[in-house]
Amino acid sequence: MGLRGDTQPLAALGVGLQRRGFAVHMIGAPRYAHTLAGTGVEFSALEPDFESLLLTPDGQRWLSSGENSLSFARWMRQVVGSALDRLLNGISTAAQPSDCVIYSTFALPAESLAERWGVPSFLASCMPAHPTRAFPAIGFRRPLGPIGNVLSLSVSEQVLWQVFRTRINSWRKSRLDLPSWPFTGPLAQRRREMRPTLYCYSPSVLPAPHDWPSTAHVTGYWQFDPPRGWAPPSALSAFLNAAGPPVVYVGFGSMVTDAPQRRYEMVRSSLLKAGVRGILLGDPETMPSDDLLQVVSSIPHTWLFPRISAAVHHGGPSTVGAGLTAGLPAVTCPHFIDQPFWAARVHALGAGPRPLPASRLTSLKLAVAIEQAVTDRTMRHRAEQLGQRLRQESGIQVACDIVERSLDAPRALAVGREGD
């Protein structure tokens, strides 16, 4: 449940598990079904589509809620709350009894499926989901001291859980014949029971704090490579190969806007001011391309990023991972949830200028940041060094090893008991 950044890492993990001989069934928004075409991973579509919800007036206000947890929860209730019953019914229909359940941060109902089937489960998270004295939970702008940092996660989770608690507990009773979850919710219960979490980001970007349990596995990024036989559009290849100023990517992922033309004009103005060319993630049918700017509807980051000079993006964890792995300086323009957190990490690692919150973005501010990302030699060197480290990691293989061991352990125990 969620947007591209929630879906694509799990798709990459699903392909990795499928190559190890597992039968993998993924449930997600229909717009991402093509991601798994030809991989052998089964896909079931789940409505409604979160990205479409973001285009509603309430969805646009939700995007502008930033790091304010209370505003985020209020818009979450209005945007997603009324759609939750459809989501829950869709999960009930699509889900097939399995030997293991792996689910993203917002797919809390999936934990109920694992409970109903009596199988292991893994939370696959792109953001910290264990309390720590080292930093506050997502949604808090400033450190709160060791004790405050630890308590902040419970506050942050309750803001979200109470939005959905009544509906999810009703579904658990009526469809799965399970008791209600306690007031504290499923994530707190997971931690009490020491159930494993797979963190799909790099320990070189955010190491596991010393006070996290051994069941919190920071595996490395789960990168999704282009499908076999994929080739870039000829116009894009020609644009990249043409002589001229450096090329910068500008894309805000699933952070859709109800004023795409305004965003297009702002990007063009910024590129001109910064003296660079650009590739914009947008609609090629309504946004013309020329020698300054190429518009693409989609492009694999793992293919594009090693071929350009810098990237401008929303700070989503998957995009952050792709950019840092490519050794690419990044201008981050965070909107909400965990994006401000990851944008701050990019800056703290020296791989990008200070973040520019999307709600306060102007063409001049963006131009200045782009110019810095392209010309600052120290920043480029730090990004390249970090990229070299990340390319030595294999997050998917680490995660697959953990899943495989967890499923082999009960089998080994059962064989041992039979031998006795």
String of b and e for 95-106 (b: at least 16 CB within 10 Å)?
Answer: beebebbbbbbb
Beta bridge mates, 125: 199
Residue 194 tokens read as 């020491």
Based on its alpha-carbon atoms, the radius of gyration of the chain, rounded to whole angstroms, reads: 22
Q: What three-state secondary structure class fits 41?
A: coil
> Does pLDDT of 85 surpass 80?
yes
Indicate the pLDDT class of residue 59, thresholds 50, 70 and 90.
low
Mean residue pLDDT across the chain: 88
Q: Where are the beta strands (DSSP E) in 310-401?
A: 310-313, 330-332
Q: What is the DSSP annotation of 162-179?
A: HHHHHHHHHHHHHHH--P
Total residues found in the chain within this entry? 420
Which residue in the block uniquely carries the two structure tokens 């902040």?
152
CA distance 14 to 23: 9
**Which tokens is 329 given?**
């300086």
Which pLDDT does position 160 carry in this prediction?
Answer: 78
Residues near 409 by Cβ (< 8 Å), separated by ≥ 6? none
> Using one digit for the tens of pLDDT, what is the confidence trace for 268-300?
999 999 999 999 999 899 999 999 999 998 899
Cβ pair 288, 261 in contact under 8 A: no
What percent of the chain has pLDDT above 90?
63
- pLDDT per residue over 339-385, tens digit each? 999 999 999 999 999 999 988 889 999 999 999 999 999 999 999 99
% of the chain beyond a pLDDT of 70: 89
Structure tokens that stand for 181 in this block: 């979850």
Q: How far apart are CA 54 and CA 28, in angstroms?
A: 16
User: pLDDT at position 270, please?
Assistant: 97
Give per-residue pLDDT as tens, 376-420.
999 999 999 999 999 999 999 999 999 999 888 655 444 444 555
Confidence of residue 58 (pLDDT cuts 50, 70, 90): low
Q: Which residue has the higher pLDDT, 58 or 313?
A: 313
Residue 45 zone, left/alpha/beta (φ > 0; ψ -120 to 50; rest) = beta
**The token pair that represents 38 in the structure block:** 């030809």
Handedness of CA 214, 215, 221, 227 (dihedral sign): positive
Higher pLDDT, 89 or 159: 89
> Which of the pair, 256 or 101, is modelled with greater confidence?
101
Least confident of 12-21, 60-69, 287-296, 386-395: 60-69
Half-sphere exposure of 319 (CA within 13 A, CB side): 29
101-120 pLDDT, tens digit each: 999 988 888 999 999 999 99
Q: Between the CA of residue 360 and those of 103, 257, 334, 356, what are the distances in Å?
A: 33, 14, 10, 7
Token pair recorded at residue 205: 């970007």
Which domains does the chain possess? Answer: 4-221+394-419 (3.40.50.2000), 234-390 (3.40.50.2000)
